[in-house]
Structure 1
Amino acid sequence: MTTMIRARGLTKRYGDVEALRGLDLDVDQGRVLALLGPNGAGKTTAVRCLTTLLVPDEGEAEVAGFDVRREPTAVRANIGLSGQYAAVDEHLTGYENLVMVGRLYHLGKARAQERATELLDRFDLADAAHRPSKTYSGGMRRRLDLAGALVAEPPVLVLDEPTTGLDVRSRQQMWDVIRELVAGGATLLLTTQYLEEADKLADEILVIDHGREIARGTADELKARTGGERIEVVLADSEDRDAARDVLAAVAAGEVVVGENGRELTAAVRGTGTGDLLRVLHGFEERTVTVLDVGLRRPTMDDVFLSLTGHAAEATAGKDRARTEVSR
């Protein structure tokens, strides 16, 4: 299988800040790699290096068979890039935006117009084709931006957090569009903060933090590293904490986490979640532990990051905001 994106030892520094620390990645033709990490992890810096917008300080990278250092023009001719913010001209209509992109790719006037019409229809924007894009909703702008990345029908797509800031409906629409592109044979590098998004779209996930790889695998493999499903309990009385912890410990994969108020407990479970939940409920009944709430859920991105790095994603996002701004 042809490798369409390849990087080895990718490193980028901004003064004393090392945004990338020897990152390696591979994306085969027709596959999706999700680059997962919190704000400031180095995702956007990696994208900018791979799309020739930044020159890496160390390492090497190829996209569609072309070296990003020696052949940047060829790389640009073979990629479609959709950044974190929709790159559309608000004073042009959706149709005019796409025609402009086509002309910049030297498609010729007739072909650029043809592609604009095709893509507006494909992205459910035909009814708004001749409206100024400043009147578009956030989801419509994101779809128009993604359409612009496809005008030249590139073999490689790079989408940098394409659904950040979108509502649930708009995010689902974007996922549907991305699935369609992949089904059509596109090779995709997707950066995201959302484990759910990577879970639904990616063949493989590469988790990075502070510019370096900390884990890679499928979504299920990453979740398994956090203990799979987990049981969450809210006690009616903190005096039942020790008894509840003993019951949870019998099914837990690792330590039972107790909240600061002593009434909230969480335990990753080893076996089938529903079976373990039933055993816990029976154990609570036997020990007369009263609960206000109990539930079974799958790990979130925070659970994965807490397991892999020892800190939650939100904490990292706040702590590294300054580094993110530098990398942009």
Structure 2
Amino acid sequence: MFVVPSIAFFAVLFAALVRSDCECGYTVNSTLYTDLIETDFLHLQNITGDTDWQGQDYTVSAELARGPYGKNASTTNIVANPLKNEYDWAGDGVNGGDAGLQLIVRGGTPENGGLIPMAELVTSRDDMLYGSFRAGIKITNVNGTCAAFFWYWNNTQEIDMEFLSTQMNETSSPVNLVLQSPQSAKQGFSAQGTGGFVNQQLPYQPDEGFHEYRFDWSPNAVEFYADGVLLQTLSKSVPNTPGHITLSHWSNGDPGWSAGPPVSDALLTVEYVKGYFNSSDPKRQEDWKSRCPSTATVNSTCAVPEVKEAPNGNSSAHTFFFSQEKNMTTNQTVGGEKSIASSIRWTQTASTAVFVFMVASTMEWFI
């Protein structure tokens, strides 16, 4: 005889299902963030299959690009180059050279002040409001490009870590730390003199290996890091609007910034991107509140491990991903469609999986 389970049974079963090690978020220096995004580009076979990211296709005229040349962003300049051995964490990629996602600025001078081919990638989510964001990056050694890892809402709400390859030499290796603001817009989008710009020297050459670049954004300040070491804290013109993360590699020939164009193809290589942040989406906020009463929050959060060395060797490049561990990303909502096959998690019992299937039509999928 078939017995219909009671509501109490399903309540207990659902409570067991949703519990996880990091259910109520992730902490960075004791600051709690409710959401995460993590991408391991060392093992990613095809960037177009990752719903967390969107490759950009657009053109910008020389006038709008504010340089002698315009820009032509194309997904053909975003190339996955995963490791030859899927079990490794460092080494050559399947296409040769450094493994990771390649963002390419094509070499050569465009005719008649034309467009310089470039690459740009943005997160699908644009609800990131305060957080800690980091990326493992190796800068090109070809002069004439700007490599940028940044958060963006608009041209006056922006947090940048930018590398100008023409500034790299034996005695100089800076990263430009920038907070774009209404004041910088009035100066032709130059943040110098606004309190939102520092040309920060690094203790290594960024084109000689991978390093982790990071910024922690709070309502009152933005802290910038390299390999876990605090570089600068900027507290003027701090953005207060939700936005998205961008990886960009470009040139417009401007002698005062990107210079270029490069004489040969220039590669920016990215091992990973990680972000731990709060969402501005009311639906996500309510979801978090419903599963995380104040009494449970302390016991259901996870501290984000800090990078202590450059991610270059096989062991150091294997930085920690919550998303690669069991039971550490439960209830992290997923943008886009997910198939039933990939959504059912057999981590409890077969009956739990059946329960997940039964409620799938009325719930948002979680990972």
Q: TM-score when scaled to structure 1?
A: 0.26
TM-score, normalising length: structure 2: 0.24
Higher share of residues assigned strand = 2
Larger radius of gyration: 1
Normalized per residue, which structure has more helix?
1
